[in-house]
Structure 1
């Protein structure tokens, strides 16, 4: 994204948020913008963008607690940027509970549980997701892998 296009998009997103600050999608979109900027940069600048994105994802989640996408991104943030695995697991778990088909949140949660040696909890998460939705393919795949090992 060119700097001018990025600045225009940022201005549009900020104007939308200013016109309707209680709209969770405005916070989510602004959080997503900052998240992508954080991935395009490195070092302290990347960290600042991701912190800004987390602020907007938290606001989005508070305004719409039934939207799993905000919780998934908060899981990314807490597992990679601030390295708070417990908080990351809670966010991923909330995202999976809201949308069992969300393979990114499911895999993120299971990776955290696997890294902590919590295989039985990992299996329980996968069983619960696969029971809730026949389209939770990530859970079926992960269960098969766990049962092989």
Structure 2
């Protein structure tokens, strides 16, 4: 049942090469923190100071992570892709719906049919960010973008 809380709050993102993890930062890290951690890691993993190709690969990954996260536009795109992949990993997503495709009634609610026969109730005030709405009758969820 939907408790009205977007399901991405406090959610750990599971991904093999999470750029934030690579840089040792949280997802809320400032550019200053990202840059400091990047500089420390680059010094530690620089190919001139290491032996072996896997260490060189680590250096390239650190550099790619920083170049992505320091650019505001690329960081937003990256964050969105992490969020989407975390939704898909943890929930049985029945459908993805755009906020723009919803029509709300006078009470500020919209409904979307679930394949189990029940309906998802989508309250307008939950849509400030992407969220997942769970069906009250089954395990299906919808992702509202």
Normalized against structure 2, the TM-score is what? 0.27
Higher relative contact order (CA 8 A, sep 6+): 2
Name the structure where strand makes up a greater proportion of residues. 2
Name the structure where helix makes up a greater proportion of residues. 1
